[in-house]
Structure 1
């Protein structure tokens, strides 16, 4: 997607480099022929690997080496140094990797390694059919991981969406702003599903599941029997219940169809937009529509944007960043009614608006699970292996509420990367891996040229520590609860965010 972030410059490792020039733990940027590459030393081992992340072309040279892996600084994808395999979402594709050979005082990158040739033990469980309900990040990551792990049985993915799985975070970011073309959005090309023998059923709704009989009933068509089932139904936007909320110029943003409709509605003669809600979707939408040249007003009951997740300091910075780009805030306010060309605030004030966007949160789509008798409480309850109360039925993504060893609580997270990683873990556990899900939650949020990276989960905190300067957009903000560091937000310090991810995972044994 887009141009490579790393050019093929520096020494050509295929022509040899001096071993003495590469210290233990060092990383050297160069190339193998015309391909950008990194040369990494770990003790007496040397690795030659591609320098560009396959998710969004992040520069791996700015990332973090952990044991025999490397993590991308942008969105925390993880790759094997030994064969280039993508080990953790959001990247699904491997990076190039070359064998290294030492000849006297020189080290050479020689033939390229095929990551598909690595030895994998056969799955301990033989499954007949796996059914995945949901065509989002968790569902696709699970389907991909099943095939990567050697599962060769019937694999069906059911999605109510009209589009094949796509990059949902982009819907409120570059795509909505007009700086990313739609061809960037699909997570996989259409022929991928045929090549991997994934039966993708689009615009298909499930009416019920029967865990006892291991059946999935469709609204139209014959029921499907399964041996393992993944529920990855995601979430739906919370709706306003005020006069005028059903008017045609009122929009919600969740699906590709929603984003397309919003883009069309934002075209001239529309000039003024009211965004209701000052959290991530609302403010990313505000930024994207400002970049399209619309006048944007944001209305929210909060005193500070994003305060509940990021605290006062970053919240004030986010507000200042938006105001510097012309966004007008109406905080500690709510909307009482929506008219044809305006909104009415609870205070009685009116704001002109050709277009209204509502971003007040989402609710998990748990009806199928609840109707089937699965344990649910503010989400579908799963164990540390992401299995529900019904044997053979797993849940991942926005609906899954799992035991978090760091906080000692059951938590539910609405993050794209977390959904993908849960899909991968659930897939491996369907095959008998018995792998606990312990990845630290991670997300990123972009506002104009400022990106906030956040790792961990702090539902509440009693202390905040700041290193660097929030005002200068160069900081590490740590959130503590009872002297335990629960989460870290960074601006302009991607490597620190990666280090925090590793520390959080190590503290839980992940």
Structure 2
């Protein structure tokens, strides 16, 4: 018998509901086949599409903050009035619906025409903006420039072969085989033409002349700019060991890298993952989903202990071992001879695939040659401006003043890069918006998501609320009694509330 689609949840809002049926802050219902979320904010009632446009997260399980609603999964935020995705990782709006009150009942019958995004006003419009980099920050900046009604030229120069993609998916569902490739591009190819974004792929920028205000490509082309955004990102660290250049040895950063691993996985029986990092362990989980035996080799005593601490590190190891992953910790690969990986401990593992996930390093060469201030990253101020006027930096290369930790920090998180790109775009238009967003990332291991809010390079105390082994917990990373970061498993509202509390503490 053919599968039958489940009926939409909740009451039929087109037939109206009594106010007594909507006693709380949110109510999930439907109009026809569309799931619609009623949201009360102050004295107003809004109706919006019920699912986040990023990964379809259920907004009914999210958090209402004034006239915004935040997704429980990856902390995107939508404007209740317009539906606009006002905080990455979501980029597309949710639908908005008309709310009518008649004869003491609340009705939702028809969609409103999608309101135009909120435009802060262009106070200093440059003629041409050049973006170097085709990753999260570069794409988010270009998209936001057009959303802010910027009419000037946008040139995006990317050294990658593919248009901007959803990079987190490359080590998660796409690599596991549960997400088709059409889900991977951030936008279809015709988006760039329609938005008048001059996207140039396979283009390496070799120098910046800040006096003449132009960049030079490896092909010798000179491209002038009025404002320049550096979003060159990071590149995977490659191991300086014999055999690391063989075709079955892979790094994982680009769509091409992920495709190559998938191609190697066909018919493979065993894989070695070097590095018990987020990327390494996500790759391990994805390869296990393809029924490949996986060995993880890492220098660490526990997986991800440096970021998550010992207890959560032990949990992550146990979770992967439950799924058949074999760990070789406090060890390293010293050479790869054909399909034989030799460990420092002396043992050998035969592997059809080797994935190297030992971290990334920021691509700073271009900024250094241009004379920008460098401090373990490109130094920027609160507005993401570099030390040279009209040059901005965002994403993995940017080191910025963090108002919560009171330190300058650089993080390699997808959502941070997108939000910095959006802020840089508005600032290149003269809006003078300080970047105060709280860092956020998520990591997926089989069916277990780990959400992390804030930034704690060091801590002197970790408090645990709940049961880590029961996959229901919230951990606070503290220094001198102050909460710097929060990690959680299936504590979505608490994670959102922690983010909001940190934001309020950061407010100037």
TM-score bin, normalised by smaller chain: over 0.9
After superposition, residues 305-324 of structure 1 pair within 5 angstroms as 305-324=303-322
**Does the 8 A contact of 1:454 with 1:490 survive in 2?**
yes
Return the offset for 1:338.
Answer: 1.4
SS in 1 for 2:247: coil
Q: In the alignment, which residue of structure 1 is the partner of 2:11?
A: 11
Q: In the alignment, which residue of structure 2 is the partner of 1:404?
A: 402
1:76 corresponds to 2:75: yes
1:36 corresponds to 2:29: no
Return the offset for 1:34.
Answer: 2.5
Q: Distance in 2 between matches of 1:274 and 1:51?
A: 41
**Does the 8 A contact of 2:120 with 2:431 survive in 1?**
no
After superposition, residues 184-195 of structure 1 pair within 5 angstroms as 184-195=183-194
**Structure-2 change in CA distance of 1:255 and 1:121 (3 Å):** closer
**Does the 8 A contact of 2:159 with 2:202 survive in 1?**
yes
Return the offset for 1:111.
Answer: 4.5
**Structure-2 change in CA distance of 1:488 and 1:44 (3 Å):** same
Q: In the alignment, which residue of structure 1 is the partner of 2:92?
A: 93
1:244 corresponds to 2:243: yes
Q: Distance in 2 between matches of 1:121 and 1:443?
A: 27
Residue-by-residue CA offset, 1:481-500 (whole Å, 9 max, x unaligned): 11110111111111111111
Runs of 4+ in 1 over 6 A off after TM superposition: none
SS in 1 for 2:411: coil
Q: In the alignment, which residue of structure 2 is the partner of 1:169?
A: 168
Which of the residues 388, 393, 402 maps onto 2:391? Answer: 393
Residue-by-residue CA offset, 1:225-269 (whole Å, 9 max, x unaligned): 11111111110011111222222221111111011111111111x
Q: In the alignment, which residue of structure 2 is the partner of 1:476?
A: 474
Q: Distance in 1 between matches of 2:117 and 2:134?
A: 29
Return the offset for 1:7.
Answer: 6.2
Q: Distance in 1 between matches of 2:6 and 2:284?
A: 31
1:490 corresponds to 2:478: no
**Does the 8 A contact of 1:444 with 1:451 survive in 2?**
yes
Q: Distance in 1 between matches of 2:409 and 2:118?
A: 36
Any unmatched runs of 5+ in structure 2? Answer: none
**Does the 8 A contact of 2:125 with 2:430 survive in 1?**
no
**Structure-2 change in CA distance of 1:47 and 1:7 (3 Å):** farther
Q: Distance in 1 between matches of 2:216 and 2:161?
A: 19
Return the offset for 1:121.
Answer: 5.3
SS in 2 for 1:117: coil
After superposition, residues 224-235 of structure 1 pair within 5 angstroms as 224-235=223-234
Return the offset for 1:104.
Answer: 3.9
1:158 corresponds to 2:146: no
Q: More deviation in 212-221 or 140-149?
A: 212-221
Q: In the alignment, which residue of structure 2 is the partner of 1:274?
A: 272
Which of the residues 298, 304, 307 maps onto 2:302? Answer: 304
Q: More deviation in 349-358 or 250-259?
A: 349-358
Q: In the alignment, which residue of structure 2 is the partner of 1:180?
A: 179
Return the offset for 1:477.
Answer: 0.7
Q: In the alignment, which residue of structure 2 is the partner of 1:332?
A: 330
Q: In the alignment, which residue of structure 2 is the partner of 1:127?
A: 126
Residue-by-residue CA offset, 1:261-300 (whole Å, 9 max, x unaligned): 11111111x2111111001011111111111111111111
Q: In the alignment, which residue of structure 1 is the partner of 2:376?
A: 378
**Does the 8 A contact of 1:7 with 1:36 survive in 2?**
no
After superposition, residues 346-385 of structure 1 pair within 5 angstroms as 346-385=344-383
Return the offset for 1:220.
Answer: 1.5
**Structure-2 change in CA distance of 1:253 and 1:496 (3 Å):** same
Residue-by-residue CA offset, 1:128-176 (whole Å, 9 max, x unaligned): 0011100011111100100111101111111011100001011111111
Return the offset for 1:40.
Answer: 1.3
Q: In the alignment, which residue of structure 2 is the partner of 1:261?
A: 260
1:295 corresponds to 2:299: no
Residue-by-residue CA offset, 1:342-389 (whole Å, 9 max, x unaligned): 111112121222221111110000111110000011111100111111
The two structures, once aligned, show a CA RMSD in angstroms of: 1.5
Any unmatched runs of 5+ in structure 1? Answer: none
Return the offset for 1:505.
Answer: 0.9
SS in 2 for 1:92: coil
**Number of aligned residue pairs:** 504
**Does the 8 A contact of 1:20 with 1:105 survive in 2?**
no
Q: In the alignment, which residue of structure 1 is the partner of 2:146?
A: 147
Q: In the alignment, which residue of structure 1 is the partner of 2:55?
A: 56
Q: Distance in 1 between matches of 2:242 and 2:221?
A: 42
**Structure-2 change in CA distance of 1:507 and 1:6 (3 Å):** farther
SS in 2 for 1:401: strand
Residue-by-residue CA offset, 1:399-423 (whole Å, 9 max, x unaligned): 1110111111111111111110000
